[in-house]
């Protein structure tokens, strides 16, 4: 039957095998090609493995949504030394002007975000009473600035007696919280910019050089977002608004 499988005579098989035997020179050439291909494949696999493991995958824990994430941009900045002539407007002595400078840093810290945005943050947040479809939120940088400002005041209890931790229990508790929060934030962000040591010919001593470049988030861009989304007016914390908001991501404690 045409196309049916059948066994070939032994002689025919032997004949075909003879014709199929490779020439010795061809065999050596084939082996060389195989070896070269194997080397190329091994090198390629090694390179791919190096690339794969040198680019550590970002865990889901580092991808938490923030309503301001689209405005984040990295810039290079140098910190002021904070000594002598290298001071900023945020340093002592205490004064109404100094208070104003600090207050301006987080005066737009409380934000008003729509429900579609509130549904994407890791935790549920409260709706704004009297403002249907909008929710209250705060970028943590503003909480941190508030805490640092409070610590600053505690350093000058003569000017700010309400923040004297040796006499006021609320001040002691609040400052303790703020120190812990700032510590957590510093370790969370872990700035890996490099402080160096250089020889000081005048002092005849090797000294640390802190005026080094840092990769920073552009705070001005974040401030602009905060101004555009600022919660105007007071939030009534005594009013509970029933709500059915469900966050898209896994809820975190």
pLDDT averaged over 10-residue windows placed end to end, the chain, 253 residues = 38 42 51 52 47 47 87 97 94 97 97 96 94 96 98 98 98 98 98 97 95 97 98 91 78 57
Q: Tell me the C-alpha distance between 111 and 231, whole Å.
A: 5
State the pLDDT at residue 63.
79
Q: Tell me the C-alpha distance between 204 and 184, whole Å.
A: 38
State the pLDDT at residue 19.
39
State the pLDDT at residue 233.
86
State the pLDDT at residue 217.
97
Q: Is the peptide bond before 104 cis (omega within 30 degrees of 0)?
A: no
Q: Which of 122, 114, 142, 119 is nearest to 226 (CA)?
A: 142
The pair of structure tokens assigned to 181 is 């929060």
Q: What pTM does this model have?
A: 0.73
Domain edges within the chain: 71-228
The single-letter DSSP state of residue 122 is S
Ramachandran area for residue 107 (φ above 0: left; ψ -120 to 50: alpha; else beta): alpha
State the pLDDT at residue 132.
94
State the pLDDT at residue 244.
84
């Amino acid at each position: 039957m045409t196309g049916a499988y059948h066994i070939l005579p032994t002689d025919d098989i032997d004949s075909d095998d003879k014709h199929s035997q490779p020439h010795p020179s061809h065999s050596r050439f084939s082996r060389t090609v195989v070896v070269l291909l194997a080397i190329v494949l091994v090198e390629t696999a090694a390179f791919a493995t190096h690339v794969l493991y040198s680019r550590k995958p970002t865990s889901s824990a580092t991808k938490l949504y923030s309503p301001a994430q689209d405005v984040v941009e990295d810039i290079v900045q140098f910190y002021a030394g904070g000594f002598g002539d290298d001071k900023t407007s945020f340093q002592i002595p205490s004064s109404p002007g100094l208070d104003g400078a600090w207050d301006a840093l987080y005066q737009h810290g409380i934000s008003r975000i729509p429900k579609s945005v509130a549904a994407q943050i890791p935790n549920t947040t409260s709706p704004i009473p009297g403002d249907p479809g909008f929710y209250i939120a705060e970028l943590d940088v503003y909480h941190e600035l508030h805490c640092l400002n409070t610590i600053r005041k505690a350093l000058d209890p003569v000017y700010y007696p309400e923040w004297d931790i040796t006499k006021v229990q609320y001040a002691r508790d609040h400052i303790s919280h703020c120190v812990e929060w700032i510590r957590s934030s510093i370790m969370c962000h872990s700035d890996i910019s490099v402080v160096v040591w250089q020889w000081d010919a005048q002092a005849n001593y090797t000294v640390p050089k802190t005026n080094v470049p840092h990769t920073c988030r552009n705070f001005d861009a974040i401030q602009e977002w905060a101004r555009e989304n600022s919660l105007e007016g007071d939030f009534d914390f005594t009013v509970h608004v029933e709500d059915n908001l469900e966050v898209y991501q896994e809820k975190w404690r």
